[in-house]
Structure 1
Amino acid sequence: MFGIPPEKLPLVLIVLVVPILPNLWAIWHIFQRDFATPQEKMAWLAGAVFIPVLGGLAYLFWGRKRGKKV
């Protein structure tokens, strides 16, 4: 597969998938919460979508406490 030796494939998949997980979690979490304003919710969502790894991590550290459970 793309010239990757089969024994290195699990490592390559981990390196490619693990950075995506905070973003997927952040997007899911943002949709499950209410924020002070709709603009704040959309700003966090835009950060997670358009700034992939950093946006998800920023939401994980600073944004998740700002939302109230629906």
Structure 2
Amino acid sequence: MFALPNLAPSQWAVILGAVGLFAAISLYSIWDAFHRDFGSSNAKFGWIQLAVMVPFFGGLAYLIFGRKRGRRL
């Protein structure tokens, strides 16, 4: 059915580290957007939706562009 590739432990560590980093960026972006005030709930929902629907690049876009638009609650 489906077999995992035969990789060295160091290669698995790099792959799992990259996946973990991508997940951490997305999860932090969602958490941070939830705790900021953007002036409207549509803007907040839009940034959260972007981070959820486009996992790594949406979170990265939020960290670069969206964080500056909201203020800390």
TM-score, length basis structure 1: 0.84
Divergent runs of 4+, >6 A: none
The alpha carbon displacement at 1:55 in A equals 0.6
- Equivalent-residue separation in structure 2 for 1:52 and 1:13 (angstroms): 16
Aligned-residue RMSD, C-alpha: 1.4
**Pair 1:42 & 2:45 matched:** yes
- Equivalent-residue separation in structure 1 for 2:57 and 2:10 (angstroms): 30
What stretches of structure 1 of length at least 5 have no aligned partner?
none
Count how many residue pairs are aligned between Structure 1 and Structure 2.
69
What stretches of structure 2 of length at least 5 have no aligned partner?
none
Q: Calculate percent identity across the aligned residue pairs.
A: 36
- Equivalent-residue separation in structure 1 for 2:42 and 2:21 (angstroms): 29
Which residue among 25, 32, 36 is the counterpart of 1:29?
32
Q: Deviations over 1:45-66 (max 9, x none)?
A: 0000001111101100000011
